[in-house]
Structure 1
Amino acid sequence: MKNIRIGIIGVGTMGTRHMNYLQDGLINGATVTALYETTKERAEWLKEHVSSEIEVFTDEDAFFRSGMADAVIIATPHYDHSKLAIKAFEHGLHVLCEKPAGVYTKQVREMNDAAQASGKVFSMMYNQRTNPLYQKLRELIMDGELGEIRRINWIITTWYRSQSYYDSGGWRATWAGEGGGVLINQCPHQLDLWQWMTGMMPERIRAFCYFGKHREIEVEDEVTAFTEYENGATGVFITTTGEAPGTNRLEIAGDRGKVIVENGKLHFWRLRVPEPEFNRTYQGGFGSPECWKVDIPVKGEETAHPGITQNFVDAIRKGTALLAPGEEGIKGLTLSNAMQLSTWLDDWVSLPINEDLYYQHLQEKMKNSSVKKENKSIALKVEGSY
């Protein structure tokens, strides 16, 4: 089988990482052959420093018409993800898209439709899905070891960002530049894992987003959200970029036990009998089900970005199942959009969300965004970072 020729769209922080591991030969069956970068200075630097076999483009149409790539990795600002993916599909290219899938679900739905119509391989760069801890937790849930899920709590506050970070670019933490704050920029992986590991999307969400609470920014930098599920389960999601030291603690309780993931370890407590059965048969008044602390073997290493890219290439060449199908990118984004919309409406939001209503509110935010006109072009050129 021939090597897959990959073109990278957006060669900023993440695009450069993808370029480097591809150039280093870390991906079997693939090579980087084309780069598309709209920042002229960056493009000139690339022309001088990358292999002469890699063509550098500064014109979008020229890049897509060149025939230099079989597949693309999109690593541009958030707003451009869907537009560029749709154009890639129209040119018969496979697509691997950086997170998030987009800024609002309406545009991502159009991207998903284009992907399905094209018949091409479409994947999301959800590299946290390669983490053996989260893979094992998903396995435990899907195999029924936890029983029916009753509660999901995730505190993820290890995103500390100083004011100088936000001041480093006029596009950062703005509605026009990034389309949101901690939910859209730092938390897409956790929001994806939340639904991927459990196989559940909530019925409704009530969220409290705080905009510019800890920093002089216009988007959310602290969020607490409460979710309700069809089976009666509940969830709490807490995140911020203004807390130090931060915490990353995921706790999932089911009617057969409980799992906690924290400090790089998985802890599993298993009930000897399911709680509903104990409750139905126990006659002793005070008491609780017998509980065992179980050591769960977690094998393997997190392969991160190269792991997702290798899986993407293998899907093209061998038909390997995708670890992170692109169409699933809309799920985590739905949670993010719903949390923002709930805050704007000061009310519960049911899923699926009213996409037109969300877009209407987002447009108002963008219209009044503090991004200066002279910086809007920068916002379209500089890649969003973690």
Structure 2
Amino acid sequence: MDKVRIGIIGVGNMGKSHTEYLVKNQVSHAELTAIVDTDPSRLDWVRNNYGSSNIQLFDNLDAFYASKAFDAVIVATPHYNHPEAAIEAFSHGYHVLVEKPAGVYTRQVREMNEAAAKSGKAFGIMFNQRTNPLYQKLRDLVTSGELGEVRRTNWIITNWYRSQSYYDSGGWRATWAGEGGGVLINQDPHQLDLWQWTADMMPKRVRAFCGFGKYRNIEVEDDVTAYVEYENGATGLFVTTTGEAPGTNRYEVSGDNGKIVIENDQLTFWRLRTPEPQFNREWKNGFGQPECWKCEIPVVGAPGPQHKGITQNFVNHILNGTPLLAPGEEGIKGLTLSNAMHLSSWTDDWVNLPINEDLYYEKLQERINSSTFKKETKELQMDVKGTH
């Protein structure tokens, strides 16, 4: 096997993006051979733009899978459907690369992870920000011990400004039935993943305060302040919103040896000449603090290959056993953080990790049932189950 044949499930915005770079052969040893979508206009878009390409088009999954025209699938459906679509692909014996987020609630994502493990097939998730050298370097400085033990994480990510007209552009937008959440599930999946991936640890408990429709006429969260505690005693803060302008994107990680800041596409290491614990033990003169050097860390290649990079890594994994940069099983980690923030706000209390998945599902269903978007969840997904 010297090439991976790829089929795409769903040709919305992201499905179109994947189609474009694959048709242009921007992922080596990969070939786009099949696409399935129940919306005729989307299949027409493929015909009109890539009609000369050797891509088989299907309007239902039965025919799609029966064709055996591919070795792996990219799941690019609405996010409620990600786990279901991935599980079905695994059941047919295919490798799966799923779009982010992994799903809406961890219980369904856990089922997807179990299906992946049982299948023995390759399983990746489109966390394309993991290809960004800025975050790769931060993770390296943390995991190598250069920063020392992590003491605090702090991410202010408020540059997600969205107007009311954005939310009004689709009845499914910013509804519990349509999207399953707001800024946490729509805009922040990458940051929530990077938060735990770069610090190389998950919190042990979360206390969050979410504003639901605080700045816009929507039913989901558009403003979040979350405080977390880690097993080693470190603490963290995550602040996000779609209602502020101008916004900020500043990520700071403090450790025994100083602090690292990512802002404006620059990584700065404020490095202590003497680790703080050592300085504290040895300093006997009252006021004083460790000598600190401002180090502008050179990072080449940002923002990285992004979606194409994750797909290339996925193909290399299938062909050569290259380790996955974004294993699909890790999608549950960032989703756990967003679920915990929701649940903490809904119950007005701390949430311990792992979260009570049944309680979260129960609370989510209450909101889906009263959602302004009245369609059943099954109807709002891209139903490509076939004609039966």
TM-score normalised by structure 1 residue count? 0.96
* Distance change >3 Å, CA 23–CA 156, structure 1 → 2: same
Aligned residue number for residue 59 of structure 1:
60
CA RMSD of aligned residues (A): 1.5
Q: Which runs of 5+ in 1 are unaligned?
A: none
Aligned residue number for residue 206 of structure 1:
207
**Divergent runs of 4+, >4 A:** none
Partners in 2 of 1:45 and 1:285 — Cα distance? 71
Whether the aligned pair in 2 keeps the contact of 1:171 and 1:375 (CA below 8 Å) is no
Aligned residue number for residue 195 of structure 1:
196
Partners in 2 of 1:187 and 1:69 — Cα distance? 32
Secondary structure of the equivalent of 1:31?
Answer: strand
* Distance change >3 Å, CA 376–CA 125, structure 1 → 2: same
The letter for the 2-side match of 1:199 is D
Aligned residue number for residue 179 of structure 1:
180
The superposition leaves residues 158-203 of structure 1 with CA deviations (integer Å, 9 ceiling, x where unpaired) of 1111111111111111111111000001000000001111111001
1:114-263 equivalence runs, <5 A:
114-263=115-264
From 369, 372, 386, give the equivalent of 2:371. Answer: 369
1:11-50 equivalence runs, <5 A:
11-50=11-50
Partners in 1 of 2:48 and 2:134 — Cα distance? 41
The superposition leaves residues 81-139 of structure 1 with CA deviations (integer Å, 9 ceiling, x where unpaired) of 00000000111111111100000000000000110111111001000001011000000
The letter for the 2-side match of 1:189 is H
The letter for the 2-side match of 1:154 is W
The letter for the 2-side match of 1:300 is G
Instruction: Return the offset for 1:378.
Output: 4.5
Whether the aligned pair in 1 keeps the contact of 2:37 and 2:382 (CA below 8 Å) is no
1:88-127 equivalence runs, <5 A:
88-127=89-128
The letter for the 2-side match of 1:280 is R
Secondary structure of the equivalent of 2:247?
Answer: coil
From 297, 306, 309, give the equivalent of 1:307. Answer: 309
The letter for the 2-side match of 1:245 is P
The letter for the 1-side match of 2:178 is G
Whether the aligned pair in 1 keeps the contact of 2:177 and 2:375 (CA below 8 Å) is no
Secondary structure of the equivalent of 1:347?
Answer: coil
Q: Comparing 367-376 with 213-222, which one deviates more in the overlay?
A: 367-376
Aligned residue number for residue 337 of structure 1:
339
Secondary structure of the equivalent of 2:237?
Answer: strand
The letter for the 2-side match of 1:294 is C
Aligned residue number for residue 317 of structure 1:
319
Partners in 2 of 1:119 and 1:64 — Cα distance? 18
Instruction: Return the offset for 1:281.
Output: 1.2
* Distance change >3 Å, CA 23–CA 134, structure 1 → 2: same
Q: Comparing 262-271 with 37-46, which one deviates more in the overlay?
A: 37-46
Whether the aligned pair in 1 keeps the contact of 2:80 and 2:381 (CA below 8 Å) is no
Whether the aligned pair in 2 keeps the contact of 1:77 and 1:381 (CA below 8 Å) is no
Aligned residue number for residue 10 of structure 1:
10
Partners in 2 of 1:273 and 1:200 — Cα distance? 25
The letter for the 1-side match of 2:370 is N
Instruction: Return the offset for 1:266.
Output: 0.4
From 347, 350, 353, give the equivalent of 2:349. Answer: 347
Partners in 1 of 2:376 and 2:310 — Cα distance? 36
The superposition leaves residues 236-260 of structure 1 with CA deviations (integer Å, 9 ceiling, x where unpaired) of 0000011111100001110111011
The letter for the 2-side match of 1:50 is Y
Q: Comparing 299-308 with 205-214, which one deviates more in the overlay?
A: 299-308
Instruction: Return the offset for 1:55.
Output: 1.1
Partners in 2 of 1:146 and 1:361 — Cα distance? 40
Whether the aligned pair in 2 keeps the contact of 1:177 and 1:376 (CA below 8 Å) is no
Whether the aligned pair in 2 keeps the contact of 1:39 and 1:381 (CA below 8 Å) is no
Secondary structure of the equivalent of 1:161?
Answer: coil
Report the count of equivalent residues.
382
* Distance change >3 Å, CA 243–CA 184, structure 1 → 2: same
Instruction: Return the offset for 1:49.
Output: 3.5
Instruction: Return the offset for 1:381.
Output: 6.4
TM-score normalised by structure 2 residue count? 0.96
Secondary structure of the equivalent of 1:359?
Answer: helix
The letter for the 2-side match of 1:249 is R
Instruction: Return the offset for 1:379.
Output: 4.8
Instruction: Return the offset for 1:48.
Output: 4.1
Whether the aligned pair in 1 keeps the contact of 2:130 and 2:194 (CA below 8 Å) is yes
Aligned residue number for residue 72 of structure 2:
71
Partners in 2 of 1:85 and 1:311 — Cα distance? 19
Instruction: Return the offset for 1:290.
Output: 1.1
Q: Which runs of 5+ in 2 are unaligned?
A: none
The alignment status of 1:269 with 2:270, answered yes or no, reads yes
Partners in 2 of 1:160 and 1:194 — Cα distance? 21
